[in-house]
Structure 1
Amino acid sequence: LRIQVELVGRNKTATTEALIDSGATGNLISHEYAIKKQMNLRKLARPIPVHNVNDTENTNGEIGYYRLVLLKHNPEIDWRSYVLDFTRCPDTCN
């Protein structure tokens, strides 16, 4: 499911396209993109190795940082109509 998203960082927002993949093993974003857009990231205690579909090691290296988005906001996803709706956001969301 490809959607337009607005990412909120330190006093900045950025609109981009995201891919929601129900078969993915994790929720990922480019580290360079996150830094460029000044997103708040947390360092992982242990970096996660990344492998390609053919089981070779990804040349971009390990995942070392994270940010909880989907887990925190728990959105509803309608796969048939391509809609992602943030109806269950915590009280801290606007």
Structure 2
Amino acid sequence: MDSPKNRTSRLEALIQRAFATPPHTQTLKAVIRVTAPVPDDLDEDVRRRLLAALQATADRFGHIAGPDGSTLWAEVDRAPVTRKGPS
């Protein structure tokens, strides 16, 4: 399993390449959260590649639309999630 730090570094690099600006990274208690403003003129091919990379790398991600533009966010869990199976 890839470490949270490595996964976060990959997310930061792919967002910087796609948006041509460094993202903001915040380490919280349970997750590492990466955010960045989405350029208005983002190419559709770049958008598709970014979505595929987010699906492969982030534990969860989303998009927040606001009056001043939109923001992409992605989270990586700091510790593996343990799920209890059926008993």
Q: TM-score range by the shorter chain?
A: under 0.3
* Structure 1 or 2: more helix by fraction: 2
Task: For CA contacts below 8 A with separation 6 or more, give which structure has more relative contact order.
Answer: 2
TM-score w.r.t. the length of structure 1 is: 0.26
TM-score w.r.t. the length of structure 2 is: 0.28
